[in-house]
Chains A and B, each alone.
Chain A
Amino acid sequence: GAGVSQTPSNKVTEKGKYVELRCDPISGHTALYWYRQSLGQGPEFLIYFQGTGAADDSGLPNDRFFAVRPEGSVSTLKIQRTERGDSAVYLCASSLKGFKTDTQYFGPGTRLTVL
């Protein structure tokens, strides 16, 4: 597709379960970002990948959150032992090379609900 795609669009899970959220960036984009958007708030930065490596993971809230991008394209955000406070929309974005002038293109997000 032409844009950033994320799957699933919605995920409902129970407290304590493990979830994986997938992001397919725009083809050829080397930079990938994860953000979390709580209801009525702006997106909050989680992690930034340049290629396969996490260039900045300072936004990950705790060690229950982990993200990978093994081949420098698709990325997976993994959340262990989910808590009700993890409920939010998780947004993925990509940009061409990660330069400051590059636009970050956002996907539609995955809405995570932890019961």
Chain B
Amino acid sequence: QQQVKQSPQSLIVQKGGISIINCAYENTAFDYFPWYQQFPGKGPALLIAIRPDVSEKKEGRFTISFNKSAKQFSLHIMDSQPGDSATYFCAAEISGSARQLTFGSGTQLTVLP
């Protein structure tokens, strides 16, 4: 079964700190790894995504680190802000014509002021 395992389940960080969320996958056919941010009552919104041909991608305060050999990837949020408080989901998409995203179980991030 295709799976993406995400940790931690919840994370509390002080304002200005670094938030780190980790994901691991099993299926080597995955070739697209997006991260989604979800606020209560809203649908998930794409935050940043990476392909396995690069080891890191940075967009503003958000960075994805990717380790293909370990089949792991992580999201780093630098200078975390209270407005970043949300649930974060990693996801993976398999190569080929199928366009289904397989999501992790989510990390509830709380950034304290």
- Of B52-60, B64-72, B98-106, the one touching chain A: B98-106
Tell whether, in the assembled complex, residue B89 and residue A48 are in contact, meaning their CB atoms are under 8 Å apart. no
Chain A residue, CB-CB nearest to B36: A106
Which residues between 50 and 98 of chain A lie within 8 Å of chain B, taking CB atoms? 55-56, 58-59, 91, 93, 95, 98
Cα distance, A4 to B104, chains bound together (Å):
23
- B41 within 8 A of partner (CB): yes
Known: A55-B97, A100-B93. A45 touches B102 (CB 8 A): yes
- B46 within 8 A of partner (CB): yes
Tell whether, in the assembled complex, residue A45 and residue B43 are in contact, meaning their CB atoms are under 8 Å apart. no
Tell whether, in the assembled complex, residue B89 and residue A104 are in contact, meaning their CB atoms are under 8 Å apart. no
Known: A104-B46, A106-B44, A109-B43. A43 touches B101 (CB 8 A): yes
Give the number of residues in A that approach B within 8 Å (Cβ atoms). 27
CB neighbours (8 Å) of B106 from chain A are 40-42
Fill in one digit per residue for B65-86: 1 if any A CB lies within 8 Å of its CB, else 0. 0000000000000000000000
- A21 within 8 A of partner (CB): no
Tell whether, in the assembled complex, residue A55 and residue B99 are in contact, meaning their CB atoms are under 8 Å apart. yes
Interface size class of B (residues with CB under 8 A): 20 to 34
Known: A40-B106, A41-B106. A103 touches B99 (CB 8 A): no
- A44 within 8 A of partner (CB): yes
CB neighbours (8 Å) of A105 from chain B are 45-46
Min CB gap A6→B, angstroms: 8
Tell whether, in the assembled complex, residue A59 and residue B101 are in contact, meaning their CB atoms are under 8 Å apart. no
- B61 within 8 A of partner (CB): no
Binding site for A on B (CB under 8 A): 4, 6, 32, 36, 41-46, 89, 91, 93, 95, 97-106
Binding site for B on A (CB under 8 A): 4, 31, 33, 35, 40-45, 48, 55-56, 58-59, 91, 93, 95, 98, 100, 103-109
